[in-house]
Amino acid sequence: MELWYFQSYIENYQMGLKVKETLFCGKTRFQEIAILDTFLYGKTLILDGIVQTTEKDEFMYHEMLVHPAMFVHPNPRKIFIIGGGDGGASREVLKHPVEEVHLVDIDEGVIELCRRYFPQLGNWEDPRLKVLVEDAARFIKESDQVFDVIIMDSTDPIPRGVAEPLFSKEFFQQVFEHLSPEGLFVSQIEPPFFEPERVRKLWENLDMFPIVKVYWGLVPTYPGGVWTYVVGSKSLDPQKPLRKPDFPTRYYSPEVHQAAFTLPVFFKQLLEGKES
Amino acid sequence: MELWYFQSYIENYQMGLKVKETLFCGKTRFQEIAILDTFLYGKTLILDGIVQTTEKDEFMYHEMLVHPAMFVHPNPRKIFIIGGGDGGASREVLKHPVEEVHLVDIDEGVIELCRRYFPQLGNWEDPRLKVLVEDAARFIKESDQVFDVIIMDSTDPIPRGVAEPLFSKEFFQQVFEHLSPEGLFVSQIEPPFFEPERVRKLWENLDMFPIVKVYWGLVPTYPGGVWTYVVGSKSLDPQKPLRKPDFPTRYYSPEVHQAAFTLPVFFKQLLEGKES
């Protein structure tokens, strides 16, 4: 027997992964969750039918989500991670000399299952990490804390999905107000091929930041094979790292950081509202 | 009824495209060929079951295959294209002030069908373009011509496939000997995730060139979503364009050119024979 998982996230397109074993399949309070062991990518986390992370290529996504903003900040002490229940983003943040990392994910089920099935993804025992199960939008509204870097590692802003409110202008305004004067905010956004309007809208929703830049990196498991990230910065140039890794990396380097901000012509035009 | 095309090029992985219409399905002397109209990518050329090019994203592949080598050469007059029967590579080459472009493809059937179904892909009427239906390996062995840029736009070096002999050291030696002193050779190679040994071997087979560099670019229709290119150069640095486009581009820019040579850490390590 052959077992295949097919993902239909993008209309008119399917990705199929041959499955060795179904490790978990069920529901949390908020989402359907499946953990499959796939031949090509190893253990694979699927939320509401969409691949979120895999053992084999998670490093590409997590390094590129976290390190550019972290290395641009000269002295990132207090970090806030929105979502990130699989642990990968906080694992990368904790490689920096930070003091406190607040991870706020709405879905306890995801955190528990990832700790069990993806132990290498997280660094859960680090005492600097504070995990809070709560709606990140409510948390930030009620918090009087100020952060140096805020990282959004949520699912995609699918209409009526769990993460949709996190991509609103109101939420980004809250994020802006909870950042220190040299603070940076980074979020994953989809690549521009499939949902250009969604990408452009998100870009526009960040206009309270004096500097907004987009960069990209490989993630073979995601549709289209690359993923896009957007940084809002209060004062520092997101393309210019002020520090360098003193730990091993598998994707990130200062050169990769700078090159990642160079976008293909059609993508730049899309952000500028010109169709090519 | 829903019609889907599924590609099984990578083991344990499938890509599915929903099909509007099958425009052609048959065999040439060398390959199975299908031309499908797909909802996501428009008209799609499939050889031996593998997507080669699509209306929607062919510009990404063809611009990045052609322009880096072409813009590095200060004065590219004579160009040789190996394969490229769909016409896209020669269309991009002909945007440069070249004198002669020799396109040598073994498969007349591909050329004929692409001229018919993808008329915008080629610039077949340009008098500088000489099309020859022949085995490129034989052509180069018997030729006494010297070229400024040689572009290999073949199918992949699948064992026992049409293109396998084109990826041998003997063939690259012939290519080297038919290049002018400032000459450059460029070829597509697969991305490094799926067949790292094949990529490394190709890289090593080019060691007659004093300068060999790898770069990459997006192609959403290809497995993994990015594609990789290798340049062998006799004297010029492939990362430094000496000229700039005086025609519109949709992917390439001098900045994209330079950034494309910055490889993620794991990929650099792979080429250097170190596993990360």
Q: Is pLDDT at A243 greater than 60 in this prediction? A: yes
Chain B interface residues facing chain A, Cβ-Cβ under 8 Å? Answer: 4, 6, 10-18, 38-40, 57, 59-60, 191, 193, 217-218, 220, 222-226, 249-253, 255-256, 258-260, 262-266, 276
User: Hey, CA dihedral for A71, A76, A82, A87, is it positive or negative?
Assistant: positive
Is residue B42 within 8 A of residue B86, CB to CB? The reply is no
Q: Which residues of A touch B195 (CB under 8 A)?
A: none
Q: Average of pLDDT values for B142-170? A: 84
Question: Which is nearest to A188 in space by CA: A73, A74, A52, A79?
Answer: A52
Q: Which residue has the higher pLDDT, A204 or A117?
A: A117
Q: B4 and A14 in contact by Cβ < 8 A?
A: yes
CA distance B137 to chain A (A): 33
Question: Which is nearest to A173 in space by CA: A227, B6, A165?
Answer: A165
Report which listed range, A199-208, A213-222, B129-138, is most confident: B129-138
Buried b / exposed e along B209-227 (16+ C-beta atoms within 10 A): beebbbbbbbbbbbbbbbb
Which residues on neighbouring strands pair with residue A83, listed in sequence order?
Answer: A153
Confidence tier at A160 by pLDDT (50, 70, 90): low
Q: Which residues of B touch A252 (CB under 8 A)?
A: 264-265
CA distance A32 to chain B (A): 23
- Range in A8-17, B11-20, B234-243 with the lowest mean pLDDT: A8-17
* Whole-number pLDDT of residue A238: 98
The rounded radius of gyration (Å) of the Cα atoms in chain A is 18
> Cα–Cα distance between B37 and B17 in angstroms, integer?
10
* Whole-number pLDDT of residue B181: 98
Q: Which of B107, B153, B207, B246 is catalytic?
A: B153
Q: Average of pLDDT values for B62-87? A: 97
Classify residue A159 as exposed, middle or buried by CB count within 10 Å of its CB (0-12, 13-18, 19+).
Answer: exposed
User: Hey, CA dihedral for A174, A180, A181, A186, is it positive or negative?
Assistant: negative
Helices (H), chain B: 58-72, 88-93, 108-117, 136-142, 169-177, 196-205, 254-259, 265-271
Q: Which residue has the higher pLDDT, A250 or B161?
A: A250
Considering only CB atoms, B264 lies closest to which of A13, A218, A225, namely A218
Q: Average of pLDDT values for B16-26? A: 97
Confidence tier at B165 by pLDDT (50, 70, 90): confident
Q: Is pLDDT at A204 greater than 90 in this prediction? A: no
Q: Average of pLDDT values for B133-162? A: 88
| A270 Rama class: left (phi>0) / alpha (psi -120 to 50) / beta | alpha
As a whole-number percent, the residues of chain B with pLDDT over 90 amount to 79
Q: Is pLDDT at A159 greater than 70 in this prediction? A: no
Residue-averaged pLDDT of chain B: 93
* Whole-number pLDDT of residue B68: 98
Q: Integer distance in angstroms from the first to the last C-alpha of chain B?
A: 47
Chain A interface residues facing chain B, Cβ-Cβ under 8 Å? Answer: 4, 6, 10-18, 38-40, 57, 59-60, 191, 193, 217-218, 220, 222-226, 249-253, 255-256, 258-260, 262-266, 276
Q: Average of pLDDT values for A235-255? A: 98
Query: Is B153 a catalytic site residue?
Result: yes
User: For B82-106, how does the pLDDT look when each residue is reduced to its tens digit (9 = 90+)?
Assistant: 999 999 999 999 999 999 999 999 9
Is residue A212 within 8 A of residue A231, CB to CB? The reply is yes
DSSP character string of B131-179: EEES-HHHHHHH----EEEEEEE-----TTSTTGGGGSHHHHHHHHHTE
* Whole-number pLDDT of residue A275: 57
Question: Which is nearest to A126 in space by CA: A81, A75, A91?
Answer: A91
Confidence tier at B199 by pLDDT (50, 70, 90): confident
Is residue B193 within 8 A of residue B224, CB to CB? The reply is yes
Interface with chain B: mutation pick from A20, A256, A268, A272, highest number of B CBs within 10 Å: A256
User: Hey, CA dihedral for A8, B63, B31, B152, is it positive or negative?
Assistant: negative
Q: Which residue has the higher pLDDT, B190 or A244?
A: A244
Query: Which residue is associated with the tokens 């472009």?
Result: B101
- Range in A75-89, A181-195, B246-260 with the lowest mean pLDDT: A181-195
Q: Which residues of A touch B65 (CB under 8 A)?
A: none
Q: How far is CA B236 from the centre of its chain?
A: 21
Q: Which of A57, A107, A148, A153 is catalytic?
A: A153
> Cα–Cα distance between B91 and B61 in angstroms, integer?
12
Q: Is pLDDT at A78 greater than 90 in this prediction? A: yes
Is residue B85 within 8 A of residue B114, CB to CB? The reply is yes
Considering only CB atoms, B251 lies closest to which of A18, A57, A264, namely A264
* Whole-number pLDDT of residue B10: 85
Q: What is the ipTM of this complex?
A: 0.92
Q: Tokens at residue A100, please?
A: 């406190």
* Whole-number pLDDT of residue A39: 96
Instruction: Tell me the HSE value of A247 on the side-chain side, using a 13 A CA sphere.
Output: 10
Q: How far is CA B42 from the centre of its chain?
A: 20
CA distances from B60 to A26, A266, B2, B225 (A): 40, 9, 29, 11
> Cα–Cα distance between A153 and A171 in angstroms, integer?
14
